[in-house]
Amino acid sequence: MLIENADEPYAGAIARAIISNIKKGIDISTTTELRNIIKDALKFVPQITKDEIKKSCQRSFQALRIDVNKEFEVLDEFLEKLPDAMSPGGRVAILSFHSGEDRRVKKSFRQFFREGVYREIAPDPIRASSKECHVNSRARSAKLRWAIKS
């Protein structure tokens, strides 16, 4: 889940630490408890910074949120049904905010393009300019992909 939902580079160590705590009967019921487990799990990384620990925590919480809310399942279902909701020549644009979402959108668009459902798709994602990222740091991870129905 940590790899698929968040591309967490230390997924194995974090997962082992979580499982170890659960097997010991340690209840993980708060975000602070989970953060501490992640922090302890990353002690093996030489000279790890607070920022790197924070990013691993953010990715781990993201992975849990995606799983609990079934976000990828909902996105996959939407992408599968999307062409049926579009008129010929209709256009769609999808903005994704992390790599897992973007991979699914790209894969779906490419599949439907190869099948002739879409006549044109974005060759590459459109990304925010450095100026926009400076004004709005959340734009940094955003990718826009588009398709036109045949």
How far is Cα 121 from Cα 123, in angstroms, rounded to an integer? 6
Q: Tell me: do 141 and 81 sit in the same domain.
A: yes
Q: Tell me: do 18 and 62 sit in the same domain.
A: yes
Q: Tell me: do 99 and 46 sit in the same domain.
A: no
User: What pLDDT shows up at residue 98?
Assistant: 87
Dump pLDDT digits (tens) for 82-92.
Answer: 999 999 999 99
User: What pLDDT shows up at residue 47?
Assistant: 87
What is the arithmetic mean of pLDDT over 121-125?
97
How far is Cα 109 from Cα 146, in angstroms, rounded to an integer? 8
- The domain in which residue 123 lies consists of 71-149
How far is Cα 65 from Cα 68, in angstroms, rounded to an integer? 5
Q: Tell me: do 61 and 116 sit in the same domain.
A: no
Q: Tell me: do 63 and 91 sit in the same domain.
A: no
Q: Tell me: do 48 and 93 sit in the same domain.
A: no
Q: Tell me: do 78 and 107 sit in the same domain.
A: yes
User: What pLDDT shows up at residue 138?
Assistant: 87
Please state the domain count of the chain.
2
Residue 18 has pLDDT above 90, yes or no: yes
Dump pLDDT digits (tens) for 26-82.
Answer: 989 999 999 999 999 999 988 888 999 999 999 999 999 999 999 999 999 999 999
pTM confidence score = 0.83
